[in-house]
Amino acid sequence: MNDQQKQWSAALDRATRLATGSKLGRLLHQPLRYLGAVAFRYALYPLTGKSLLRRCHTFFDTEMSVALPAGMDLYLLGCKTHDSEIRLTRFFLNHIQPGDTVADVGAHFGFFSLLAARLTGPEGKVFSLEPAPQNFRVLRQNTASFANIRVEQIVIGRSKGVAAFWEFPPLYSEYNTMNPEAVPAHLKGQKIELSCLSLDAFAAQHGIRPRLVKIDVEGAEWEVVQGMEAMLQSDAPPVIAMEYLAGSRAATGHHRAAEWLRAKGFAAHVPDQEGRLQCCEDLDAYMIESGLDSENFVFVNTSGD
């Protein structure tokens, strides 16, 4: 790590301590912001059902907006605070190099896209892909000042065409998906139709070869990886960071995608607390042992080893 990344890592350490500490600690950290966000989440939002756009400062010294009540962790602490997302963030800090090309499939408000853009530097490229209209409006605003980020409102799937997509209310915007079976049954989304393209076709259109692909698509992982076959079989296949859900929400899409990647010569790894990759042979056994509801597994091609 360079000096700037070390500073960011230390800032992430501080945010992590707050995230894993008490509610009192988070209250005392920024009392007015904390009380205001909680009041909106539990008092005003249930009455209106409308989001509230607010600015926040990330641990890596970048301003961004979130649409409360989604993004509360970013608004209060400047980072994603789920254990798997903290470790994925550390993996980004360790892995992404200046000049890299990164594809963020399912970018939401753009936290990982912005982090990747800071790490790749002006000579790198980040392709931030988000289909949901409400999320995309926030994403486009957050990335507007970054010359090395290109945003696209598009569904990434197995082929070119039109895809059915479900968009959920603001509080549940991270569940937006083309596979509603992977979403908790009590949530009701709005079905819309959006343009769809495979990642292979998207990469060919833009003449890119991503070094890292992050996939967070709530149950549609199987469709995404099927549209990456040329990329995965190239002489420089990308590293893939893919969300994997546990328990009853672990729809077949996650399992099929992971098994397909393994069949293509990709070994599954888990980022540890320092962001270093640890090999993981049995994904479901790991999920049970860890007690996590979701994990970001990192798949690395080992066929040439």
At 158-206, the pLDDT tens digits run 989 998 999 999 999 988 988 887 777 788 889 999 999 999 999 999 9
CB atoms within 10 A of CB 181: 11
Residue-wise DSSP of 62-96? -EEEEEETTTHHHHHHSS--SHHHHHHHHHHHHH-
- For residue 210, say if its preceding peptide bond is cis, omega within 30 degrees of 0: no
**By the 8 A CB rule, do 141 and 164 touch?**
no
The pLDDT value recorded for residue 250 is 44
Q: Which of the pair, 105 or 186, is modelled with greater confidence? A: 105
The pLDDT value recorded for residue 211 is 97
Query: Residue 251 pLDDT > 60, yes or no?
Result: no
Q: What is the mean pLDDT of residues 65-90?
A: 97
Across the chain, the runs of DSSP E, i.e. the strands, are 52-57, 63-68, 101-105, 125-129, 149-152, 155-157, 161-167, 190-198, 212-215, 239-245, 266-271, 277-279, 294-301
Q: What is the mean pLDDT of residues 129-149?
A: 97
Query: Residue 304 pLDDT > 70, yes or no?
Result: no
**By the 8 A CB rule, do 143 and 151 touch?**
yes
DSSP state of 182: G
pLDDT-based confidence at 43, cuts 50/70/90?
very high
How buried is 155 (Cβ within 10 angstroms: 0-12 exposed, 13-18 middle, 19+ buried)? buried
The pLDDT value recorded for residue 247 is 67
The pLDDT value recorded for residue 305 is 57
Domains in the chain and their CATH numbers?
1-80 (no CATH), 82-301 (3.40.50.150)
Beta bridge partners of 197: 156
Angle value at C-alpha 234, between 232 and 235, nearest 5 degrees: 125
Query: Residue 249 pLDDT > 50, yes or no?
Result: no
| pLDDT tens-digit series, residues 14-40 | 999 999 999 999 999 999 999 999 999
Q: Is the pTM of this model over 0.75?
A: yes
d(CA 135, CA 132): 5
- The β-bridge relationship of strands 212-215 and 294-301 is unpaired
